[in-house]
Structure 1
Amino acid sequence: MSEKPLNIAFVWNQHQPYYKDTVKNEYIMPWVRLHGCKNYYQMVAILREYPTIRATFNLTPALIEQIEDYLEGEAVDYYMLVMKPARALSSREKSFLLQHYFDIHWDRVVALYPRYQQLLNKQGRKREPVSLEGVIDKFSTQDYLDLQVWFNLVWIDLEIREKDLFLRGLQEKGSGFTEEDKTTLLAKQWNILQKIIPEHRELQENRQIEIITTPYYHPILPLLIDSNSALRANPDMPLPKQFAYPQDAREQTEKAIQQYEKYFGFKPYGVWPPEQAVSPETITQLVEQGFRWTISDEEILSKSLGLDIHRDEFGHVTNPEVLYQPYRVNINGSEISMIFRDHYLSDKIGFSYHHMSVQHAVDDLQHRLHKIRENLHNSPGNYLVTISLDGENAWEWYPGDRKDFLHQLYRRLSDDQLLNTVTVNTYLEDNPPSQKLNYLFTGSWVHHSLARWIGTRNKNVMWDYLTKTRKDFQKRVDAGEKPEIIQKARESLFMAEGSDFPWWVDSTSYYLAAPFEALFRKHLMNVYKVLGMEVPEYLKRPVLEAPQEEREWKHDPLAGPTAMA
C-alpha cells in the first residue's frame, strides 16, 4: 500500500448578510460584531498554534465592509442601542433586551452560567415576539445590567475569555456587574474586531492560509445573469418575470476584486460563488475577471459528469478518484480550475459531529480521511479532499463551541504524516488538473438546484420587485442621470440583489424572516429615493403575511428598540 499522504483542503466561508439600513445608518442585526468576536478572529488565530496546518478562508466583501464600519465608528446596531446605562432604559428598550438578549443557544451556552440561566427563567423563556409588559417590572435595574453584560460576554470566544483576566473575572463574578464593567467589555469587543483583517493578512503573507473573495453583496450569480437558468435543474418550477443582467454579476465581482486588492495588495486567486451556485455563464465571467480557481459541491460535479458518486453503507465513496481531484472546466474556450467539496464530510462537521463526544467526532473524521487515502492507493496522482462550510454557524451547537473540536482535529492532523492540509492555490500550482469538464451543471450546494432562492410565491414577488426596480434604474442611466447619483442608486440595487433575502423568506419563522424581507424592500425604496423618483406603493407593503398576533401588535421588523410597540 502506498504511503503517499492525502491532501486535504479546509475552505471556511466567512459571511454575513449586509444588515445596514442605509437611511437610518443603523444595522438591524448585530451578527457581524458578535460573530466577529466569537468566530471570525479565533477561527484564523487558532492556526498560530498549529504551524503545519493550512486552510483557505473566504472573507466576503460585505463582511469586511461591515467590520470596517464598526471600527470607523460609522456602524451602530440595534443591540448596541440598548447598551446605555441600565437606569436610563425606557420600557421599549427593556422590552428589546428581554426579547433579544437571550439570542444564543440556551442549552449549550445560557445553561452553563447560573445567573444568565436565572435571568432567562425570569423572562419566561419566551422566544417569539410577544408582549413582555408584565415581565418588564419584574426585572430590577441590576437585572438589566447583568443581562447586558452576560449577552455580550458569551458572544466573545470561549478561549479569549479564558485567557483574558478581565473577561475571566466577569465570568467568575457572575452578577452584580457595574457600568464600568460593561464599558470595558465593549472595548474588549472592539479590540477583537480590530484584529480580524490584520490576522488574516499576516497568516496569508506567511503562506499558512489563502484568502479568497466572493461577489460583493453575495448574489446568486446564475440568477443575476439569467433567472430562467433555474429551470435547468427544476424544469417545472414556476418563475417570475425574467431577470437577466449579467452586467450586475460582473460589476459585483469586479467591486469585490478591487476591495481585495485594497486590503491584501494583489488580486485574489480564488473565488467562492455565493452558495456555491454556478452555471456555464458564471464560469465565463470568472475567467474573464482573471480568477484561477473556484469551488462548488459534489452534486454539481456528479450532474456535470452524468455520473453518480457512489457511497457504501458507511458513507465512504466507492469511486473516490471521481470526487477527490480538481477539474479544468472549459466553457467555450474559457478555462478555470475547479474543486468540488465532499458534501458528506462537510455536513458531518456542520450538522452531525456536535451530537458526538469530541474524541469520537475527531476519531470518525480522521478514520474517514484515512479510508479515502486507502481507497485511492492504486490510483496515480496527488488527490485532494475538499471540506468546506460556513466558518461560524456550526459551532454554536458544539459543547464548548468549536474550541475542543478544532484543537483536537488540528493537533491530530499535525501529528499525522499521511494527512496533509493545503491551501487550494498552492495545491493547484503543484497539481494542475488532469481532467477536463466541457459542461457544467447549473445549481448550488442545496440539492444541486437554485430553488432555495426562487420559485415560491414570496420569492417570485421579490424577484418581480427587483426586476421592476432594475428597469426603472436603467431608464435613468439611459437618460444620462449624473454619475454620482447613478452610483449611489446602483449600490442600493446591488444590496437588494444579495442571496440572503430570498434565502430567509420561506425558510424560517415570520419573526426571523420579516426583518430580511423588510430590509430588501428598504434597499429598493432607496434606489427610487436617490434617483428622486416616487417610491412605488407596493414596496411599502410587506411581501410576507404576518401571523394574527403580529398584526394585532403591529410590530415593525425594522423599528429597532427605540420604536418598539
Structure 2
Amino acid sequence: MEKNKLNVVLCWHMHQPWYRNGLEGEYRLPWVYLHAIKDYSDMAMHLERHPEMRAVVNFAPVLLEQLDDYAQQLQALLQTGRPTKDPLLNLLAGITAIPADEAGRSIILQDCQRAHAPRMIQPWTAFQSLLDMVGAAEAAGAKHPKYKHPLLYLGDQYFLDVITWYHLAWLGQSLRQQAAVQALITKAQLFNQLDRYQLLEVIANCLSELIPRYRALAERDQVELSMTPYMHPIIPLLQDFSNMKCALPSSPSPQAEFYPEGRERARWHMQRGLECFEKYFGRRPQGVWLSEGGISASAVALLDEFGIRWTASGEGVWRNSSHLSGYYGEAIDSKRDLFKPHRLPDSEVRMHFRDDGLSDLIGFKYSNWNANDAVKDFIQHLENTAQFLDTEASQHTLAIILDGENAWEYYPNNAVDFLDQLYAELNQSALLKTACFADLYDSVPSKDLAKLCAGSWVYGSFSTWIGSEDKNRGWDYLVAAKHAYDQAITAKRLSSEQEYQATQQLAICEGSDWFWWFGDYNPSESVRDFERLFRLQLKQLYHLLSLEPPTHLDIPLSQGGQGADNAGTMRRNT
C-alpha cells in the first residue's frame, strides 16, 4: 500500500565558488561551465527522462550568477566576436593565439588534462594519442639534449586539437548525442575555426537553457528547488567561532575571538541569496541547505527569521545532537530516529539528516561497479530500511544528500546508466516512494530535539574549515580584511557604488571553499589554485577600499601535498 512506503529524498547539491578574479576579472578556473556542460545538463536530462521521479535540487546563488554570466558572455562571443572572461574559451574560439613560448604551451597541456583520465581521456583514442605525442617528444628530447624543447616544434593546430578534445571529453551524454558533436567526434582531428565555433554554440546553448530547464522541472512540481546562502559561507562560523567547540572541543580557534558583525553578515547572505534565487526561479524556496550542511541553533534561528521550513545536515550532527540531548538506546543505535525530521524548541524549521553510508556509496563506491549491480545493491539497502521500519515506514524519511556534480566523472559514461536505472527502479519499488522535503512537512511527524550540537555534513564537525593552523590563519586574514572594510564604511570613505562593490567582494571572501582546501591532506595543485585565488580576492577587497593589501597576502598560506578521494572535491564519512 502507498501509505506504507518509505519516503526517499534524493537531494543533489549544485555548487561552485566565485572563480573570477574580483567582481569583473577573468575566470581563474573553468569549473562552472565545464560542470554545466557535463553534470548540470545531464542531471536535468535524467529528471526529464523520468517524470515520475521526484527529487530536491539545491543551487548556490553564486553558481546561478556565474552560469548566467557565462551564458551571456558566450552569446556575445558568438554574435559579436567579443572575448569572454575565460582564457580557455578564448583559446578554443581562436580569439587568443596559441602562445609561442614553451611555458605558455605547457600550461595549455596541463589545463587540458584536468579530468579523471581513466573515464574522460583514455576512452577517447584521438585525445589520448595527442597527449601521447608530447610524452614521446619529451622522451626523445631527454635522449637528445639539443632538442630539449619539444613543445616549440609543435604547430598551433596541435594545441587547438587538444583544446577541442578537452571540451569534447567534458561534454555530458545529453550534449554528446547532438549531431554537431557527433560530427566533431567522427572528424577527430584538424579542427578548424568553424568546427570549434560549432562546439562553442553547443556550449553556449547549454548554458542559456540550463536554469530554465530546472525552473520548468520545478513548475511542473517534479523537482523541489532549494538554495544555499548567497556566496556559500559557513553560517554558524560567521555567527560565532565558538560554534565549532561542541564537536571540536580541543581544537585551536583562530586568533580572532569572533568574526566582526558576523550575525549581520549571515543575515545579509540569506537575504541576498533569496533575492538571487527568486530572480532566476520566480519563487521563494521552502528549504535551505546551509553551506556544507553546517547548522547550529543560531543558524536555525536565522532560518526561522526568514520563514524557511526545512534544512538538512549530516548523520554525525544527528548523532552528536542526540547524545547531547540525552537520547540513547535502540532508536539511536539502529538509526531509526535518523529517518525522522527533528525540530528544536520554539522553532518551526524541520531538520533532516542524511544517511552518510548510503550517500557515500553513490559518492565513492558504485563508480567502480557494474551499473545494474550497483542499483540493485542500493535499492536493497533502501528496502531493507523500509522493512525494518515496517508499518511505520511512511512516517519516516530517508535522505540521500550529496554533490550533484563531482562524483560522475569517476563513473563510466558520466553515470548515465547508473542514474537512469536508479530513477527507474526507485519508482517501481513496492516499498519506496520518492519525495521532496517540502512534501513531507505536514504529513510526516517530527521529533523534538532538545539540543543541537553544531556541525556539518563532514564528520559532524567544522574541522574541514576551521581548527587547524592553515585554516585558522585564513580566518585571521579574513577577519583583518573585515575590520578594514568596517572602518571604511564607518568613516564613510566610499561612494554608494564603491560600498556596493566592496560588500560584494567581501561576500566572495567569506565563501567556504577557500577554507575547504587549506591543509596538507589535499592535492597540492588544488590547494595552490584555491589558496592563491583566496589571497587575490582579499587583495581585491583592499584595493576596493583604497588600501594597500598587507604583505602577508603575497605569501602562500597552505601547500597541500597529499592525494585525496575524488581529487579532494568530496569527503568520505564512512
Q: TM-score, normalised by structure 1?
A: 0.90
- The Cα shift of 1:86 comes to 9.9
State the partner residue of 1:78. 87
Aligned partners of 1:512, 1:235: CA distance in 2, in Å? 29
Deviations 1:406-457 (A, max 9, x none): 01111112322331111110122332x3311121111111111111111222
State the partner residue of 1:562. none
Aligned partners of 1:168, 1:246: CA distance in 2, in Å? 52
Most deviating of 58-67 and 317-326? 317-326
Q: Secondary structure at the match of 1:186?
A: helix
- The Cα shift of 1:165 comes to 1.0
Aligned partners of 1:3, 1:258: CA distance in 2, in Å? 37
Structure-2 change in CA distance of 1:257 and 1:2 (3 Å)? closer
State the partner residue of 1:117. 128
State the partner residue of 2:170. 155
- The Cα shift of 1:84 comes to 4.7
State the partner residue of 1:550. none
- The Cα shift of 1:87 comes to 10
State the partner residue of 1:365. 378
Q: Secondary structure at the match of 2:398?
A: strand
Aligned partners of 2:400, 2:559: CA distance in 1, in Å? 38
Q: Partner amino acid for 2:347?
A: S
- The Cα shift of 1:321 comes to 2.8
Most deviating of 230-239 and 250-259? 230-239
Structure-2 change in CA distance of 1:86 and 1:68 (3 Å)? closer
- The Cα shift of 1:226 comes to 1.1
Aligned partners of 1:88, 1:379: CA distance in 2, in Å? 65
Give yes or no for contact 1:302–1:308 (8 Å, CA) kept in 2. Answer: no
Report whether the alignment pairs 1:143 with 2:158: yes
Structure-2 change in CA distance of 1:133 and 1:249 (3 Å)? farther
State the partner residue of 1:243. 258
RMSD: 2.4
Aligned partners of 1:270, 1:134: CA distance in 2, in Å? 56
Deviations 1:2-39 (A, max 9, x none): 98211110000000111010266100000100100001
State the partner residue of 1:49. 49
Which consecutive unaligned segments of at least 5 residues does structure 2 have? Answer: 75-83, 562-574
Aligned partners of 2:90, 2:543: CA distance in 1, in Å? 26
State the partner residue of 2:364. 351
Structure-2 change in CA distance of 1:238 and 1:42 (3 Å)? same
Deviations 1:263-287 (A, max 9, x none): 2222210001111011111111111
Q: Partner amino acid for 1:442?
A: A
Deviations 1:178-221 (A, max 9, x none): 22111110111011111110001111000000111111111111
More helix by share: 2
Aligned partners of 2:53, 2:120: CA distance in 1, in Å? 29
Aligned partners of 2:53, 2:224: CA distance in 1, in Å? 12
Q: Secondary structure at the match of 1:7?
A: strand
Structure-2 change in CA distance of 1:88 and 1:492 (3 Å)? closer
Report whether the alignment pairs 1:221 with 2:235: yes
Q: Secondary structure at the match of 1:544?
A: coil
Report whether the alignment pairs 1:291 with 2:308: yes
State the partner residue of 1:525. 539
Structure-2 change in CA distance of 1:174 and 1:2 (3 Å)? closer
Structure-2 change in CA distance of 1:423 and 1:125 (3 Å)? farther
**Residues 272-287 of structure 1 mapped to structure 2, 5 A cutoff:** 272-287=289-304
Q: Secondary structure at the match of 2:375?
A: helix
Give yes or no for contact 1:321–1:379 (8 Å, CA) kept in 2. Answer: no
Deviations 1:54-102 (A, max 9, x none): 0000111010010111122285223223225399411244222211111
Aligned partners of 2:322, 2:125: CA distance in 1, in Å? 55
Q: Secondary structure at the match of 2:413?
A: coil
Q: Partner amino acid for 1:262?
A: K
Aligned partners of 1:308, 1:104: CA distance in 2, in Å? 45
State the partner residue of 2:68. 68
Give yes or no for contact 2:5–2:393 (8 Å, CA) kept in 1. Answer: no
Structure-2 change in CA distance of 1:160 and 1:448 (3 Å)? same
**Residues 158-197 of structure 1 mapped to structure 2, 5 A cutoff:** 158-162=173-177, 164-197=178-211
- The Cα shift of 1:261 comes to 1.5
Give yes or no for contact 2:253–2:467 (8 Å, CA) kept in 1. Answer: yes
- The Cα shift of 1:334 comes to 3.1
Match of 1:303 among 305, 320, 323: 320
Q: TM-score, normalised by structure 2?
A: 0.88
Q: Secondary structure at the match of 1:271?
A: coil
Give yes or no for contact 1:148–1:182 (8 Å, CA) kept in 2. Answer: no
- The Cα shift of 1:404 comes to 0.5
Match of 1:541 among 528, 551, 555: 555
Structure-2 change in CA distance of 1:356 and 1:486 (3 Å)? same
Aligned partners of 1:229, 1:336: CA distance in 2, in Å? 19
Stretches (4+) displaced over 6 A: 308-311
Provide the identity percentage: 34
Report whether the alignment pairs 1:400 with 2:413: yes
Match of 2:226 among 183, 200, 212: 212
Which consecutive unaligned segments of at least 5 residues does structure 1 have? Answer: 312-316, 548-565
State the partner residue of 1:561. none
Aligned partners of 2:179, 2:417: CA distance in 1, in Å? 21
Q: Secondary structure at the match of 2:117?
A: coil
State the partner residue of 2:454. 442
- The Cα shift of 1:325 comes to 1.6
Structure-2 change in CA distance of 1:527 and 1:133 (3 Å)? farther
Structure-2 change in CA distance of 1:480 and 1:24 (3 Å)? closer
Report whether the alignment pairs 1:509 with 2:526: no
State the partner residue of 1:460. 472
State the partner residue of 1:324. 339
Aligned partners of 1:63, 1:136: CA distance in 2, in Å? 36
Give yes or no for contact 1:346–1:389 (8 Å, CA) kept in 2. Answer: yes
State the partner residue of 2:270. 253
- The Cα shift of 1:125 comes to 9.9
State the partner residue of 2:288. 271
Q: Partner amino acid for 1:119?
A: L
Q: Partner amino acid for 1:382?
A: Q
